[in-house]
Amino acid sequence: EDQVTQSPEALRLQEGESSSLNCSYTVSGLRGLFWYRQDPGKGPEFLFTLYSAGEEKEKERLKATLTKKESFLHITAPKPEDSATYLCAVQSVRSYIPTFGRGTSLIVHP
């Protein structure tokens, strides 16, 4: 059974204070690992897909990295508008269905 554990559950940062969110996973044959952003009252919005260990992707202040056991979402010099819940999901090669973690709620104070 595929499993995804995200930590921490909640994170408070000051504007400009860089940090990382963790996504630990177990999957039988990784097809892809996904990061989504979810704003309050809205549906998740796709950020990144990572396919193999060592891969990295960047978008503005966000950078996602992948190892064989975990992924990190690094946030550099965050701004208040980066406040959201960040969801991680994995999909195995044998499934049409991604397994989601419970998310990390990020609040960036000005």
User: Which spans of this chain sit near another protein (rule: CB under 8 A)?
Assistant: 31-32, 34, 36, 41-46, 49, 87, 91, 96-98, 100-103
Smallest distance, another protein to C-beta of residue 58, A? 17
Q: Which is nearer to another protein, 44 or 78 (CB)?
A: 44
Q: Tokens representing 86?
A: 């960040």
Sequence-ordered strand ranges (E) for the chain: 3-7, 10-14, 19-26, 30-38, 45-50, 56-59, 62-66, 70-75, 84-92, 99-100, 104-109
Q: Which is nearer to another protein, 17 or 45 (CB)?
A: 45
Burial class (CB in 10 A: 0-12, 13-18, 19+), 83: middle
Smallest distance, another protein to C-beta of residue 81, A? 19
Smallest distance, another protein to C-beta of residue 95, A? 10
